[in-house]
A and B are shown apart, each in its own frame.
Chain A
Amino acid sequence: MSRFQVVSGKGGTGKTTVAAALALALATEGKRTLLVEVEGRQGIAQLFEAEALPYGERKVAVAPGGGEVYALAIDAELALLDYLQMFYRLGSAGRALKKLGAIDFATTIAPGVRDVLLTGKACEAVRRKDKKGRYAYDYVVMDAPPTGRITRFLNVNDEVAGLAKIGPIHNQAQAVMRVLKSPETAVHLVTLLEEMPVQETVDGIGELRDANLPVGRILVNMVRPAVLEGPVPTDVRRTDLAKALSGVGLGGARKGGLAEQLVDPLLAQAAEYEERVALERGQRALLGEVGLPVQELELLTEGIDLAGLYRLATDLRKQGVA
């Protein structure tokens, strides 16, 4: 199992949730995982019902069997100041740079520097070892930018390595790239069984492969359970349906009766359901053609709370994802 698991997905597919569930699942049975956020949204804190994460690794959850999940919201500015401190021991000069807008420049505008800092910090956590030579974290899970930007985000180190041809940023970029392109890393894509997310997933996988980045799995999120077993039979009379509904106390089966009035809307809902199921079948087939392991996670109808997160984590473990 790769030690660095990057989770991407189209906006709205629940990638933060899946990343958190994955971190929890990987921590099960005494492991320690670090869940990393890079987009400054504090989504992890919200999920774990914790206060906003500071720039520092903090324990956010205990996994079944005594494992631990730590979380870190990487801030590009602070990460840059970290690096400056590390390489140059610049205390006040760092502050002066900040005052001048150089840090702003480097983290928001300068090509890719921001991304190098973010991936660099995550890779540092992947490689970090304690005094006994054991890895500080068994796994690092990153809640990464969306599918449309993931290849550029991860590959940016290549670009920066080309732009900054020498110097610590260059070396950093190269070291990071070695981790990212190794089997130590796996990039997972979260999708829904809908046309746009599936299309974007298929395209995203193509881009990742072209950039020689290791693609892991497709995680289909919010899969709705089947409610009707098999197709709606076409040979059932409406009157019989009305009578069946009436028979269980839903009003009269006569025309205009309450049960009879239910028949049309209920059948319309069934038709919508069938249309959706057919569409989902088509999308599943498209995902199947990509040739990656595909796992499905059920829709948690009550929304995502901590209990839901643990359920997803258990589900991921059952499916052998973690």
Chain B
Amino acid sequence: MTLDPVPALDVDPLIDDPGTRIIVCCGAGGVGKTTTAAALGLRAAERGRKVVVLTIDPARRLAQSMGIDSLDNTPRKVTGVDGTGELHAMMLDMKRTFDEIVEAHADSERADAILNNPFYQSLSAGFAGTQEYMAMEKLGQLRARDEWDLIVVDTPPSRSALDFLDAPKNLGSFLDGKFIRVLMAPAKVGGRAGMKFLNVGMSVMTGTLGKLLGGQFLRDVQTFVAAMDTMFGGFRTRADATYRLLQAPGTAFLVVAAPERDALREAAYFVERLAAEEMPLAGLVLNRVHGSGAARLSAERALAAAENLDEPGIVDQEAGKEALRSSPEPPTSTASSEPSVSPEPPVSAPATQHDETMNDQTSSDQASSDRASSDQTQPSDARQLAAGLLRLHAERMHLLAREQRTRDRFTALHPEVPVTEVAALPGDVHDLAGLRDIGDRLASGIRPAGAA
């Protein structure tokens, strides 16, 4: 396992580089994409850049940590950011974004007709693809404003992490496509004689769809399409422009994953897709990686030792203390209260650790050997706690091994992808300090102890 020369993903040069203008965080659901995006944005800002973070569907408390719990589709400056840079954050309101496009591209009468169309209302309120499209649209808008050095964007929680790549094309080709022309035909062509021949085929189609969907529905679609007609070229152009923006040199993709089979499988798939689309991949962010400060102690040895502690008889024999054979007292026995009167500090007082270990040294020096003296002085609850700690450690080591296996699988497929690992935190992030901490972990890129 130590043989794999996985290149490290160095986050700081990436976010410091003035040439980096867009970072897209993508990956499967539930791997911490939004948190990663926010942490990167904060870090870049505190290193002096003017950053905007575009989040799609942040958890409430994460949004609150950046002060963007109001959903108004505009970047808001985040307060409490250190340094000379600036952090702005916004939450995507996809309906609002769609409305804005309509308002920007149609005169007010036409815009009203579109905005009030039931078909438009359903489409814009978020059916398959709209959110993805609007996220990319918003990204294009933010980039065009050129107010920020760096835009960090989080991708929508799609059924597939790749949807956002396809959505602009899908919507673009729909709005600009052949089928729309057909739908338009009755409304647009009307009775123009020259078109009659063509119109026969079309009316079969629209007739079928009319039967299937109901006439009103089709009329709504036609009205909508007619009203949007002038914007079609615009949609196609914009979708293409956004797509090219994603391929541009200033853009970097970060694939976010957790060391779990499904998440890494999706990550591998994504890496391949980005390569196929000629989109620049900066690396993989592996969140929630576990480590251990005692990694040299294997799970097997820890478990064996824990079992040994559960059966003190065996140890006693080794130590040759006959009298202690009767020592397996229940944890509630009066003997267990004995250590609390000891002058030595309890384990939960790390501040006094130094003094304590000094005492330890002196006392051990006096003893002829640790082994020989150990059974005499260790109370049963120390043994019991030690056994518990060892079991916990064994569980941790098993987890490390599993994570390593899934990671190795990814590395075997994509040895060229730089990786940075972020150690697991017990809870979620609720404030800027938490995001800062994640940013430090992201940048340090150090493999947690024991994971190597």
Q: Does B370 contact A (CB under 8 A)?
A: yes
Pairwise interchain contact B174-A146, C-beta atoms closer than 8 A: no
Docked Cα-Cα span, A262 to B397, in Å, equals: 14
Docked Cα-Cα span, A229 to B388, in Å, equals: 8
Known: A238-B360, A243-B370. A266 touches B393 (CB 8 A): yes
Residue interface mask A9-35, B partner, CB < 8 A = 1: 011110000000000000000000000
Stretch at the interface among A55-63, A180-188, A245-253, A306-314: A245-253
Q: Does B246 contact A (CB under 8 A)?
A: no
> How far does the Cβ of B370 sit from chain A's closest Cβ, in whole Å?
4
Residue interface mask B302-340, A partner, CB < 8 A = 1: 000100110000010001000000000000000001011
Docked Cα-Cα span, A169 to B208, in Å, equals: 12
**Total chain A interface residues with beta-carbon distance under 8 A:** 96
**Total chain B interface residues with beta-carbon distance under 8 A:** 102
Q: Which of B174, B293, B347, B375 contacts A265 (CB 8 A)?
A: B293
> How far does the Cβ of A231 sit from chain B's closest Cβ, in whole Å?
10
Q: Does B390 contact A (CB under 8 A)?
A: yes
Docked Cα-Cα span, A170 to B210, in Å, equals: 11
Q: Does A228 contact B (CB under 8 A)?
A: yes
Q: Which of B29, B177, B402 contacts A146 (CB 8 A)?
A: B29
Pairwise interchain contact B215-A166, C-beta atoms closer than 8 A: yes
- Interface positions of A (Cβ within 8 A of B): 10-13, 39-41, 83-84, 87-88, 90, 93, 96-97, 100-102, 104-106, 108-115, 145-146, 148, 152, 159, 162-170, 194-197, 199-200, 227-229, 232-250, 252-255, 257, 259-270, 272-273, 275-276, 279, 301-303
Q: Does B452 contact A (CB under 8 A)?
A: no
Q: Name 10 A/B residue pairs within 8 A (Cβ), A-sorted.
A: A11-B157, A12-B258, A13-B30, A108-B128, A233-B385, A238-B344, A260-B357, A262-B294, A266-B392, A269-B293
Chain B residues whose CB sits within 8 angstroms of the CB of A162 once the complex forms: 118
Pairwise interchain contact B292-A265, C-beta atoms closer than 8 A: yes
Q: Does B428 contact A (CB under 8 A)?
A: yes
Known: A11-B157, A246-B370, A265-B292. A164 touches B177 (CB 8 A): no
Docked Cα-Cα span, A232 to B215, in Å, equals: 70
Pairwise interchain contact A148-B157, C-beta atoms closer than 8 A: yes
> How far does the Cβ of B388 sit from chain A's closest Cβ, in whole Å?
5
Docked Cα-Cα span, A146 to B119, in Å, equals: 25
- Closest-by-CB residue of B relative to A168 is B212
Docked Cα-Cα span, A197 to B30, in Å, equals: 8
Known: A100-B179, A108-B170, A243-B377. A270 touches B392 (CB 8 A): yes
Pairwise interchain contact A244-B383, C-beta atoms closer than 8 A: yes
Q: Does B214 contact A (CB under 8 A)?
A: yes
Pairwise interchain contact A254-B360, C-beta atoms closer than 8 A: yes
Pairwise interchain contact A244-B382, C-beta atoms closer than 8 A: yes
Pairwise interchain contact B385-A268, C-beta atoms closer than 8 A: no
Pairwise interchain contact B427-A255, C-beta atoms closer than 8 A: no
Chain A residues whose CB sits within 8 angstroms of the CB of B60 once the complex forms: 199
Pairwise interchain contact B348-A234, C-beta atoms closer than 8 A: yes
Known: A109-B127, A164-B213, A267-B347. A243 touches B402 (CB 8 A): no
Pairwise interchain contact B360-A242, C-beta atoms closer than 8 A: yes
Docked Cα-Cα span, A40 to B159, in Å, equals: 9
Chain B residues whose CB sits within 8 angstroms of the CB of A240 once the complex forms: 339, 377-379, 382
Residue interface mask B384-400, A partner, CB < 8 A = 1: 01101111110110110
> How far does the Cβ of B180 sit from chain A's closest Cβ, in whole Å?
8
Among B174, B309, B357, B398, the most chain A Cβ lie within 10 Å of the Cβ of B357
> How far does the Cβ of A73 sit from chain B's closest Cβ, in whole Å?
13
Q: Which B257-313 residues have C-beta < 8 A from chain A?
A: 258, 260-263, 292-294, 297, 301, 305, 308-309
Chain A residues whose CB sits within 8 angstroms of the CB of B261 once the complex forms: 303
Pairwise interchain contact B347-A102, C-beta atoms closer than 8 A: no
Q: Does B205 contact A (CB under 8 A)?
A: yes
Chain A residues whose CB sits within 8 angstroms of the CB of B118 once the complex forms: 162-163
Interface of A, helix, strand, loop or mixed by DSSP: helix
Q: Which of B179, B221, B361, B386 contacts A101 (CB 8 A)?
A: B179
Chain B residues whose CB sits within 8 angstroms of the CB of A197 once the complex forms: 30
Known: A167-B214, A266-B389, A272-B426. A39 touches B159 (CB 8 A): yes
Among B340, B375, B388, the most chain A Cβ lie within 10 Å of the Cβ of B388
Pairwise interchain contact B119-A111, C-beta atoms closer than 8 A: yes
Apart from A245-B305, A254-B361: 20 A-B pairs, beta carbons within 8 A: A11-B30, A12-B260, A12-B262, A100-B178, A111-B119, A112-B127, A113-B213, A163-B220, A169-B212, A197-B30, A236-B346, A237-B344, A239-B360, A239-B377, A240-B339, A244-B386, A262-B297, A265-B294, A266-B390, A301-B402
Q: Does B122 contact A (CB under 8 A)?
A: yes
Pairwise interchain contact A196-B395, C-beta atoms closer than 8 A: no
Q: Does B22 contact A (CB under 8 A)?
A: no
- Closest-by-CB residue of A relative to B304 is A248
Chain B residues whose CB sits within 8 angstroms of the CB of A96 once the complex forms: 205
Q: Does B84 contact A (CB under 8 A)?
A: no
Q: Does B363 contact A (CB under 8 A)?
A: yes
Chain A residues whose CB sits within 8 angstroms of the CB of B263 once the complex forms: 12
Chain A residues whose CB sits within 8 angstroms of the CB of B174 once the complex forms: 101, 104-105, 108-109
Residue interface mask B347-358, A partner, CB < 8 A = 1: 110000100111
Q: Does B171 contact A (CB under 8 A)?
A: yes
Docked Cα-Cα span, A163 to B221, in Å, equals: 10
Q: Which of B119, B357, B377, B427 contacts A163 (CB 8 A)?
A: B119
Chain B residues whose CB sits within 8 angstroms of the CB of A200 once the complex forms: 59
Docked Cα-Cα span, A87 to B241, in Å, equals: 42
Chain A residues whose CB sits within 8 angstroms of the CB of B220 once the complex forms: 163
Docked Cα-Cα span, A200 to B157, in Å, equals: 13
Pairwise interchain contact A195-B356, C-beta atoms closer than 8 A: no
Pairwise interchain contact A195-B391, C-beta atoms closer than 8 A: no
Q: Which B197-220 residues have C-beta < 8 A from chain A?
A: 204-205, 208-217, 220
Docked Cα-Cα span, A279 to B428, in Å, equals: 10
Pairwise interchain contact B213-A100, C-beta atoms closer than 8 A: no
